[in-house]
Structure formats: C-alpha cells, structure tokens
Structure 1
Amino acid sequence: MSLDQSAGLVRSDDGVGAASSARAIVVGILAALAGLMFGLDTGVIAGALGFIGDEFHAGARMQEWIVSSMMAAAALGSMAAGRISFHFGRRRALLGASLLFLAGSVACALAPSISVLIAGRVLLGLAVGIAAFAAPLYISEITVEAVRGAMVSFYQLMVTLGIFLAYVTDSLLSYGAHWRWMLGLMAVPAALFCLGCAVLPDSPRWLMMRGDSKRARQVMLHLRRDPTEADAEIRDIAQELRKPGGNGGALFWTNANFRRSVMLGVALQIMQQLTGINVLMYYAPKIFQAAHFGVSASTWATALLGLINMASTGFAIAFIDRWGRRPLLILSCAIMTAAMLGAGGLMMLGGDSLAQQIGMVAALLTFVAGFAIGAGPLVWTLCAEIQPLRGRDFGIACSTFTNWAANWLISNVFLTMMAALGEAVTFGLFALMNGLFVVITLLYVPETRGVSLEEIEARLMSGRRLRDLGR
C-alpha cells in the first residue's frame, strides 16, 4: 500500500473535513527538522559557556557576545531569508540553511580562539534566521487549515526537542568539560537535515507565484488526498494572485491593511522575546547558580527545564486546533506572569534554603511550561497565518527579523542587567511584560483555527479588525 493510500481524512473537532495525505504530514515533519537544529544550537551554548569562559579566560561581557553573536546573525539571516525564499523557494532556503548549520557546527567545535568561535556562531545564526523564517512558512503553505496549527507547532516541538537533547548532552559531557564535543556533535543532525531538505517538494503557493501552475497542481495533488480539493485550493490561490497590488515592500507602502498584519506579526515576536524565555534557555545554569545551586546541579536542573519545555509543547500541539490560538496564548501569558513573580519573590528572599531552591526550580519549570503551551508555538503559527500571499515573504521576514533583534538585545545585556538591577527586579520586569501581553492578545490577536489562509487574507484586505480576521 502506498503512503497516500494509507492516509485517512483529517478532521478538526468542529467537523471541518480536510483531505490531507500522509505525504503532506511527512513533508511537514521533514521541514520541521529545521526546528531541531534551531533548538540544538540554541540550547547547547548554555552548558558549554562556562567551560569556554574558563579555557579562553572570557569574562561576563565576552560571554554575552559569544551567546548573542548567533542572535545578531540570525537577525541578518532573517532579513535575507525573505528574498532567498521568494526568488529561490522555501525548499532551497531550507537546504541552504542546512549547509550553514553543518559549517557552523564544525567551525565552533574546532575553534582555536574566541574570534573563530564567534565566527562559527555567526554561521549558525545565519542558518537559524533563514530556517526560522522558511520552515513555518513552508509548513503553513503545504498543510490544510484543519491541521495547520498542529503542524506549524510541530516545528516548535522540534525546537524544544533540540533544546532538551542539547541540555542532556551538555550534562553528560560536563563532567569532563568536553565543550568542543558539545558543539561538534551538532554536525550530525545538520547532515541529516541536509539530506531531508534534498527530497522536499516546492511549495505549491510559491510555484503559483512564479507562474508555474502546472507544477503547482502536481505538487498539490501529491499533498492532498482528494483531487477535487486540490484543484479548489489551486483556484483559490490563483484568485488571490489576480488581485491588484504589488509584492512585499511595495505592498507594505501602498496598502494600509497589509501594514496592519505586518505590525501585528512584529508585535507578536517582540512579545515572545520579552517573556524572558530565551535568557532562561541561554543562561539557565548561571541563574540556578545565582540561586545557590552547585555547577552539576545547575546543569541537570537546566536539562529538566528542557524536558518540561518539550512535554508542554506536545500539549500545545494536541490542543491548538481544538481550543484555538487565543485561549492558549492568554493562558500561557497568565501562567508566565505568575511564575516570574514567584521566581522574583524567591530571589528577593535570598534562595539559600533547600525549600527556596525547590521553589525556584518549580517557578522556572512553571514558567517554561506556560511558555511552551502558548507563546512558544503560537507566535510562529500566527505569524505564518496572518500575512497575505503576495506579501507573505516580506511580512514574515519583518516579524522574524524582529524576533532575532529582540533576542540579541536581551541576551546581550541580560547578565549585565541582572548584576545591575538584581535577580528579583529582573524577574519582576519580565512578569510585568507577560501581564501586558495578556491585554495585547485580548485586544488584537485573531482566532485563526480552522480558517483557510485565503479567507484570512480576504478579511484582512477588506479592513476587518485584526482580532476579527479569523473566527
């Protein structure tokens, strides 16, 4: 029996049918491996940083640059990703990112100096910026609306799996201070990701934008179990492309409705970074050490954060197309607000006792779980859904660039800020930000569950309020 013959009809809970072949699911999973690489290269530095600092005698400020150099390069990569994806296709963008992942991993593992290490981190950052742009976009364009949220969130699950695996690897290799092995092992999944990218089909929507409707229909027939639905989807895409308006930047300057969707995407990515999640991912061992944990205990506590992050993202995948985007995002931000307040309060008490240390771990685990059920996967999902087809590359490039620019800024000043303001005040500021994000979600974020990309675009361009673009 062929892969397509074994596929069944995928349905959402409200009864909306969507004939999506198993081939589309497999293709989406292969593209989501970009998230695995993203997570591995994000998480591995947490355990390696202390040993790198010892070997190269790098102080806190230099360590901030080692961490944040990848974020700065990711911002640049995301800027280039829009043009790369538009001109060469989402598949080729992912393939190029996989080669950069491979080169960057090798350079970091063999680095004889901090400058070479930072150069390797820059290569990894370029790869992450391109992959973080292209993978959610590609997945959103090849899947049907009934499972689109789950499939884009699967990308985030791969991110969390990568972070967890990196933390576990760091913990095991930390006993011998083998930081080069920590960084070098990333080359193995990078090579596998490269092989996976080589067999991906081009996105039908990208092929339609390039005027190749014949190939677009062929790919769509492979990705949909029902030929009638495949043809209907091709017709919907063609209809949207016939509407007047320029592409990308031209559309941004001439169409106020498109500007609204771009600004919402930018705001969502700023929200995600100001939750405080990535400083926790990058600097978790140092945060635990500030709470009077030993080096070994800090490393394993960090691995536990990665496990909770991954498990909670699985929860998000299970419920994103059942409960919807808005409820999960509101719940997520509320949980993170409470957790950051708890962590700040414990830091204010000093965190010397065993009970306080257990409370600190519980607060940070709760924070990570809150992030993973909403703000982590949903921001990437929404940013891929709300942009119109003609300006999708430009809009997602803007939001992805914003994500990495904010990521770089926070990771570049976090150790300095924590030293200047104190741990308690720093966590209190993150709690304030998360509370604000609940309000922003209520006012502006639409519920896109079960709504086709073409329907969302039509409502956006008709001038509807942002929170009314979906259901």
Structure 2
Amino acid sequence: MTTAPAPPAAATGGARRFVVAIAAIAALGGALFGYDTGVVSGALPFMARHFGLGALGEGVVTSALLIGAAFGSLAGGRMADALGRRTALLWAGAVFTGGAVAVALAPTVPFMAAARCVLGLAVGSASVITPLYLSEIAPAHLRGRLVSFNSLMIVSGQLLAYLVNAVLAHWAAWRWMLGLAALPAVALLLGVLFLPDTPRWYLGRDRPDEAAAVLRRTLPAADVPGELSRIARARTLETDARRGARQELRRPWVRRLLLVGIGLAVVQQITGVNAVVYFAPRILAATGLGTSAAITATLAIGAVSVLATAVGMALIDRVGRRPMLLWGLTGMAVSLGLLGAAFHLPHTAGLSYPVLALMVLYMGFMQATLNTGVWLLLAEMFPLKVRGLAMGAAVFVMWLVNFGVALAFPVLLDAAGPGRTCWLFAAMCVLSLLFCHRYAPETKGLALEDLEQELRRAAGGGGPDDEAEEHGADGAERRAAAPGPSAR
C-alpha cells in the first residue's frame, strides 16, 4: 500500500518540518542498527550464566547477528529497487520487531543464534536502505547532513543500548535488554506507513505524478519540473552505466580500486572496534570490576562515540580523508598499546579507571576518523559504472570480517589474555596504517567526474591503451555518464 502524499507544503517551514519528520522516522532504522549491535555487550554476561556459555558459545551468539547482517546488506539494495524504498523499510521494521521478540524469548542457545541471525537480516538491510531513502528524498542542500545524521543515529542507538543495559543490569534482566528493541522497531513500522516513497523510485516505475507530489513537499513549486528532469536524466545515465559494469571490472585499475576498497573495509574491522562494542564489559571485568559496574562503565564509551562521530563529521571535509585515516590509526595503535600494557600492571582496585580511559580514548580516535573516513571513501572512490557493485562487495566483506572478529574474540581473550589481545589489535592498526599510507586515495574537494580521472592515474590506469579508450566510444560514454561538476 502506498500512502498518497499530502498537499504541498505552504511554506519553507512546512517543507522543513516534512523533511525533519521523514529523517526522524527513517533514521530509526539506523538507531535500531546501533541498538541491536550494542545491546549484546550488556546482555552477554547474564546470558552466558543462564545458558552456561563458554568462550566459543559467546562468540557464536554474538556473531550470529553479523552473518545475517552480511546477507541482509546484499538483499537490502535489491529489495529496495524491486519493492520500493518505503516497502523495504516496512519489511525491515517488521523483521526488527519479530526478531527482537524472538531473541528476548529464546529458550535455547540454537534458537537464540537463529533468532539473532534473522534479526541480522534487518540490521544489514537497514544499513543499506536507510541512507538510500534519506539521500533520495532529501533536498540537495540537506542531503549531506541527513545521510550523516543516519551515522550519528547508529552510535546514538549504541549509547541507548548501553544506557538500558546499565539500568537493567541491577536486576540481571537480559531478556528485557534484548526485547526493548521491539519498541523503536514498532515505531519505525508505524511511522513508515505514513511516509511516501522517493521521487526517484516513483519515476523509475513511471509514476511521475506521485514523484512530483513528493517533491512539492520538499521544494518550491517552481523548482519541481527541473528536479524531475534532473532525476530522470540521472536514472538514464545510471542505467547505462550499470550495463557496462562487468566490462569495467576487467580494467586492471578498476580491479585495483576494488581491492583497495575491500582492504579499507577489512581495516575498519580488524583494528578492534567491534571487539570493544560487543565485549566492553567482559574486558572491564578482567580488571576485577563487577558485572553491573562494568556494564555501567560502558556508558562512557557510548557517549564518546556519539561526540567523536559528530566531530569527525565536522572535520572530514576540512582535513581530508587520508590525514584522518592516518592520524586516527596512529592514535588507535598507541591507545591499544598502552591498554595492553595496563593489563600487565598489578590488578589493584584502581586498575579499572586507566583501562576504561584508554578504551574511551581508542573509541574516540576510531569513531572520529577511521569509521567516518572509510564509509565516505567507499561511497566516493569507485567509478560510476561499478559504484553500486563495488561498494556492495566491500560492505559484504566488512560484515563477514566483523563476524569473524566477534566469533574469535572471546576465544582469543581466554587463550592469550586481554593484554596480548590488545597488542594484537595494536599490531593490526600498524599494518592498517601502512596499508592506508600506501593505498588510500584522497577524495576531498574533487567532483566525481574529476575524481575518476585522478584515481585512474593514481591506480596506474592512465597508459596508452586507456587513453585511447578514453578518446573512443567507451571514453565518450564514460564522460557522458559522469555526474556534473557540482556532484560531491
């Protein structure tokens, strides 16, 4: 069912309220993404006692959501294209709701793992559908802020999870921690019922009147015909570009860029961020801190993550992508090295404080630099013809590595101890720093059409054969398909 858009907003204030309402509802998908990935950190210690989980069992229960998210991220984009962005969000809201209830009521470990895997389908699909919906329905002057707002909602969802965990830990109410995710999921489900689909999707289904009706709620009426024409042209160029995707991937320089993108996705995960997100109470418990106190202490990690993400969003276009990655990885490596050393100090009552402070410092560097920079680079660095395919492959690998880290971390923590485990992640930061210094591109301030030429030269794709093709039919098609100079 498609809800017909209401009459046009009478004033700019009405349009702004409409866009804000859309952002608030759609970004619940990002908040649920954050909540469902963060809540397990507080529920896991009590769940482990209830089910008698060992280190491997903790890893399986934690990582089950992530393997579902990997495949959900693959399905999300295709479902959004086939059914519509709005319908895909409805589907995600329904799975979020059912999955949260199923996880909260799980009677056995296999049921819990299966339910979290299903919940992961919603998490993964929301990671694709929510920014897609926001980017397509927001007016151009608000698009960057609204899509970045989704990233902020993810870490805010994690902070909310830590807050709920801290409150409910006093009663060991781990089922309530998991089940309360159903409340924002129902809000998402009900809220999306009142949203229109995006003008881009309506035009793709030959429904221009509905596309125009949505645009009239976000733009002055005089701008609507021009925007409709722009969207129609962009869809035509994108369709032409997709037809050449497989051929484009045969080019060595494009394949190299794809490998660099996948490498950046791996870097984001092997440097330890989700080990902290999922297992912070377990790490703090190794210092002698009680379970409830350790769960409460994670609030500091969540609060710093939100603040650091906001700082990263403010700095990324001023400082540049590469400097952010390099400085961030340096700070992360130092923080983890000191954290590993802290665990080799005598275990006194005050050890928890420097350990928590170093974890907070590490998360501040991570969220402000690497997390912000990698997602932005993946959205910018690929040529138009392979952008969707290449970014989808990188995100899929990101979820798979996330799954591997979550599965292995509890076992590694038991086998090597927290100090050596932190040093291992510090070593991964150093290797990642070398990788980014050698391969990470700088995309700051370049229009996408110029960026493609720069990346072609940097990746070694500017030889005679490529130049000849550039001046031939294929090169002409590429130039025609590239966005205009104002695209960022």
- Equivalent in the alignment of 2:314: 318
Within a 5 Å distance, the mapping from 1:53-452 to structure 2 comes to: 53-143=48-138, 148-207=143-202, 216=211, 219-220=214-215, 222-225=217-220, 227=223, 230=227, 233-234=230-231, 237-238=234-235, 240-241=237-238, 243=240, 246=243, 250=246, 253-254=249-250, 259-350=255-346, 352-387=347-382, 391-448=386-443
Q: 2:12 aligns with which of 6, 12, 18?
A: 6
Give the Cα separation in 2 of the matches to 1:88 and 1:260. 33
312-321 vs 405-414, which deviates more? 312-321
Q: How far is the alpha carbon of 1:411 from its aligned partner?
A: 0.5
Shift in alpha-carbon separation, 1:359–1:240, aligned structure 2, 3 A: same
Query: CA contact under 8 A between 2:241 and 2:385: conserved in structure 1?
Result: no
Give the Cα separation in 1 of the matches to 2:20 and 2:442. 23
Query: CA contact under 8 A between 1:301 and 1:361: conserved in structure 2?
Result: yes
1:456 paired with 2:451, answer no
Give the Cα separation in 2 of the matches to 1:89 and 1:247. 24
Q: Report the residue type matching 2:33 in the other structure.
A: F
Unaligned stretches of 5+ in structure 2? 1-6, 461-481
Give the Cα separation in 1 of the matches to 2:442 and 2:141. 13
- Equivalent in the alignment of 2:464: none
Give the Cα separation in 2 of the matches to 1:68 and 1:312. 26
Query: CA contact under 8 A between 1:153 and 1:317: conserved in structure 2?
Result: yes
What is the DSSP-based 3-state SS (H/G/I as helix, E as strand, rest coil) of the residue aligned with 2:53? coil
Larger Rg: 2
Shift in alpha-carbon separation, 1:231–1:38, aligned structure 2, 3 A: same
What is the DSSP-based 3-state SS (H/G/I as helix, E as strand, rest coil) of the residue aligned with 1:349? coil
Query: CA contact under 8 A between 1:34 and 1:193: conserved in structure 2?
Result: yes
Relative to the length of structure 1, the TM-score reads 0.85
Shift in alpha-carbon separation, 1:430–1:153, aligned structure 2, 3 A: farther
Relative to the length of structure 2, the TM-score reads 0.82
- Equivalent in the alignment of 1:11: none
Shift in alpha-carbon separation, 1:39–1:23, aligned structure 2, 3 A: same
Give the Cα separation in 1 of the matches to 2:454 and 2:233. 17
Shift in alpha-carbon separation, 1:61–1:463, aligned structure 2, 3 A: closer
Q: How far is the alpha carbon of 1:289 from its aligned partner?
A: 0.9
Q: How far is the alpha carbon of 1:259 from its aligned partner?
A: 4.1
Query: CA contact under 8 A between 2:344 and 2:419: conserved in structure 1?
Result: yes
Give the Cα separation in 1 of the matches to 2:196 and 2:455. 34
Query: CA contact under 8 A between 1:80 and 1:130: conserved in structure 2?
Result: yes
Shift in alpha-carbon separation, 1:196–1:450, aligned structure 2, 3 A: farther
- Equivalent in the alignment of 1:13: none
Q: How far is the alpha carbon of 1:442 from its aligned partner?
A: 4.2
Shift in alpha-carbon separation, 1:241–1:167, aligned structure 2, 3 A: closer
Give the Cα separation in 2 of the matches to 1:347 and 1:22. 51
Query: CA contact under 8 A between 1:324 and 1:447: conserved in structure 2?
Result: yes
Unaligned stretches of 5+ in structure 1? 9-19
What is the DSSP-based 3-state SS (H/G/I as helix, E as strand, rest coil) of the residue aligned with 2:159? helix
Superimposed CA distance per residue, residues 221-253 of structure 1 (whole angstroms, 9 cap, x where no aligned partner): 5444571763574365156236455176x3564
C-alpha root-mean-square deviation of aligned residues, in Å? 3.3
Q: Report the residue type matching 2:325 in the other structure.
A: L
Query: CA contact under 8 A between 2:58 and 2:410: conserved in structure 1?
Result: no
Give the Cα separation in 2 of the matches to 1:348 and 1:292. 13
When the two structures are aligned, how many residues end up with a matched partner?
A: 455
Q: How far is the alpha carbon of 1:217 from its aligned partner?
A: 5.6
Give the Cα separation in 2 of the matches to 1:218 and 1:447. 39
